[in-house]
A and B are shown apart, each in its own frame.
Chain A
Amino acid sequence: MFEIFHQTFVQNAFLAGTVIAIVSAVIGYFVVLRSQAFAAHALSHIGFAGATGAALLGTSSLLGMFSFTLLAAFGMGALGKRIRGRDVEIGMILSFALGLGVLFLRLYTNSASEAVGVLFGSILSVTRGDVLLTLFFGVVSLVILTALFRPLVFVSIDPEVAEARGVRVQLLGIIFMLLLAVTVAEAIQVVGVLLVFALLIVPAAVAQHLTHKLFHTFFLSIVLGLLFTWGGLLLAFLTPYPVSFYIAGLAALTYFAAINLSHVFAPHREEITRHPGREVRWK
Chain B
Amino acid sequence: MFQLFQYQFIQNAFLAGSFVAIVAAFVGYFLLTRGLTFAGHALSHIGFAGAAGALVLGIDPVFGLLLFTVMASVGIGFLGKQLRERDITIGVIMTLMLGLGALFLSLYTGYAERAYSILFGTVLGISRGDVLVTAAFSIVTLFLLLAIFRPLLFSSFDPEVAEARGVPIRFLAILFLILVAITVSMSVQVVGVLLIFTLLVGPAATATRLVTQPLVAIAIAVVLGLFYTWLGIFFAINGTWPVSFYIAAISFFVYLPVRIFSPAQKTYV
Residue of A nearest to B208 (CB): A88
B245–A99 CB distance below 8 A: yes
Number of interface residues of A (CB under 8 A): 53
Binary flags per residue of A90-110, CB closer than 8 Å to B gives 1, else 0: 011111101110110011000
Question: B121's closest neighbor in chain A, by CB?
Answer: A102
**B269 in contact with A244 (CB, 8 Å):** no
Binary interface encoding of chain B residues 86-113 relative to chain A, with 1 for a CB under 8 A from any of its CBs, else 0: 0111011111101110110111000111
Nearest-neighbour CB distance to chain B for A198, whole angstroms, equals 5
| A201, B91: Cβ atoms closer than 8 Å | yes
0/1 interface trace, chain A 240-253, chain B, CB 8 Å (1 if under):
11101111110110
**Chain B residues in 8 Å Cβ range of A252:** 92-93, 95-96, 99
Residues B197 and A197 in contact, CB atoms below 8 Å apart: no
With A37-B87, A88-B32, A197-B92 as known contacts, state yes or no: A102 contacts B99, CB within 8 Å.
no
Residue pair A91, B37 in contact (C-beta under 8 Å) = yes
Whether B251 contacts A38 by the Cβ 8 Å rule is no
Determine which of B32, B88, B107, B113 lies in contact with A205 in the assembled complex, contact meaning CB atoms within 8 Å: B88
Most buried by B among A192, A194, A247: A194
The answer on a CB contact under 8 Å between A245 and B244 is no
B205 at the A/B interface (Cβ < 8 Å)?
yes
Judge if B151 is at the interface, Cβ distance under 8 Å.
no
Mark contacts of B22-51 with chain A using CB atoms, 8 A cut-off: 1 yes-contact digit, 0 otherwise: 000000000010010110010001000000
Say yes or no: B197 contacts A111, CB within 8 Å.
no
Whether A112 sits at the interface, judged by CB under 8 Å, is yes
Q: Measured between C-beta atoms, what is the minimum distance from A14 to chain B in Å?
A: 20
Asked if A277 lies at the interface with its beta carbon under 8 angstroms from chain B, I say no
Which residues of chain A come closer than 8 Å to B37, judged between CB atoms?
A: 87-88, 91
Task: Please state if A247 and B99 are interface contacts (CB–CB under 8 Å).
Answer: yes
Q: What residues of chain B lie closer than 8 Å to A192, measured between beta carbons?
A: 102
Chain A residue numbers with a CB within 8 Å of B240 are 106
- What chain A residues lie within 8 Å of B100 (beta carbons)? 245, 248-249
Contact A91 B41 (CB under 8 A): yes
Interface residues in B211-269 by Cβ distance below 8 A to A read 240-242, 244-245, 247-249, 251-252, 255-256, 259, 269
Query: Would you call A224 an interface residue if the criterion is a C-beta within 8 Å of the partner chain's C-beta atoms?
Result: no
The reply to whether B245 and A198 contact each other, CB–CB distance below 8 Å, is no
B111 lies within 8 A of A88 (CB): no
Among A38, A92, A106, max chain B CB count under 10 A is at: A92
- Report the 10 A-B pairs with minimum CB-CB distance, sorted nearest first: A248-B99, A99-B248, A112-B116, A252-B96, A112-B112, A96-B252, A245-B103, A113-B112, A95-B197, A103-B245
Known A98-B194, A192-B102; 6 more pairs at CB < 8 Å: A35-B87, A115-B112, A115-B119, A194-B98, A205-B85, A252-B93
Give 9 CB contacts A-B under 8 Å.
A88-B201, A95-B202, A96-B249, A100-B245, A120-B102, A201-B88, A241-B106, A248-B99, A251-B96
